[in-house]
Amino acid sequence: MTAASTDQLSPGSQFDVARYLAEARRLTLDEIGRYLPAERRHTGGLYDLMMDYPLRPAKALRPALCIASSLAVGGHLDGVLPSAAALELFHNAFLLHDDVEDGSEKRRHEPTLHKLHGVPMAVNVGDGMLALALDPLLDNVGALGLGAALRILRVFARMARESAEGQMLELHWIRARKWDVRDAEYLRMVHKKTGWYSFITPTLVGAIAGSAGGALREALARFALLLGIAFQIQDDVLSIAGAEADVGKDALGDLWEGKYTLILLHALRTVPPAERDEALRILALERGPRAADDGAEGRPAKQEADVQWLAALVRGRDGQSLRYALRIAVEHARRARHLLDTRLESLPGSVHKQFLAALVDYVIERAN
């Protein structure tokens, strides 16, 4: 790591997660810029639109995790930035496609790209970003050598597969109206989705770019998974607990979509049978009221009152289900911290290791 990069990623006296995130984000955006072609005639504005989502305010947790993991194991900033850029391009491409798929109106407080430029352009910009993400990953051959470059490509391929499998698993449950999902089944789904996509892949790719050995890579991937599960559960808690106050975003979106959360599963297990039956009746309804062209025409859809009733149910009984979920999130965070103190204890002290440690509290304590 160069003196310049140490300075760029140095913390204040108390660890400032937001500052580390912001600096990692800036470095990653600069790196993405290096992969955009200088000559843009006859490209219809493709490359300008590619930068729209990445330049909107965002935490950019994935590239920060990737950079921290790599530098914590002794890697060089130059060796990891291409992979961080690929992760960020990949993620923003998926956001573009998700927004089209869900018919979302806003992304990061601004209109979604398909609202601004139409569905065909938005889908196509996403496809272009996925293509562009391959360039830094192929350039890794020169910077990191063949073995590491291929290993990183395989992690990306596996991540895309695991996410698709996890997503199908959840869609399959929704379609089959399977609501007797056990916590272990739910956690396996989260492992595949949030786990692989947002935590394991950035961390593992960073570790590979930093030439970490097998045991260290495995410990970091495990740390990332535990962190990811804690993050996802806290996300679900914020979505339910925060929705009353936060009218700016899709309030109670998880309940409209019938998304699986530990909170909802716990409530379904523990409320009286009559309330459970009513909840299952509502969950069997289509998303509504603004269902897209998803083959759901004509089928009965959820109404505002249905979703509010569900929200009251999962928040009710003194927040018992919310507290249950939060307890499991904290337990996973605790195990992540324990890993830092045991299998990852040998990592030398650095701001990057400090960032990883600070993230354990951050995922639980963050307010958004």
For its own copies, what does the binding mask look like between residues 152 and 191, x meaning CB under 8 A? -xx-xx-xxx-xxx-xxxxxxx-x------------x---
Using alpha carbons, list the distances in angstroms from residue 168 to 138, 163, 255. Answer: 29, 8, 18
Output the smallest distance, CB 157 to its own copies, in A: 4
Cβ proximity to its own copies, 235 vs 257, nearer residue: 257
The reply on whether position 110 binds its own copies by CB under 8 A is: no
Give the closest residue to 7 by CA, choosing from 355, 358, 351, 365.
351
Sign of CA dihedral 340, 237, 233, 267: positive
Which residue is associated with the tokens 């992760």?
87
d(CA 167, CA 96): 17
Binders in 44-73 for its own copies, by CB under 8 A: 44-46, 49
- Which of 110, 109, 362, 112 minimizes the C-alpha distance to 235? 362
Number of residues that bind its own copies (CB under 8 A): 59
Which two three-digit tokens encode residue 186? Answer: 């739910």
**Minimum distance, C-beta of residue 146 to its own copies, in the bound complex (Å):** 6
Determine, following the binding rule CB under 8 A, whether residue 132 of this chain makes contact with its own copies.
Answer: yes
Q: Of the candidates 12, 39, 42, 248, which one interacts with its own copies according to CB under 8 A?
A: 42
Asked if residue 357 binds its own copies (CB under 8 A), the reply is no
Task: Classify residue 114 by burial, with Cβ atoms within 10 Å: 0-12, 13-18, 19+.
Answer: buried
Shortest distance in whole angstroms from residue 134 CB to its own copies: 4
Binding footprint of its own copies on the chain (CB under 8 A):
42-46, 49, 94, 97, 100-103, 114-121, 123-125, 127-128, 130-132, 134-135, 138, 141, 146, 150, 153-154, 156-157, 159-161, 163-165, 167-173, 175, 188, 192, 292-296
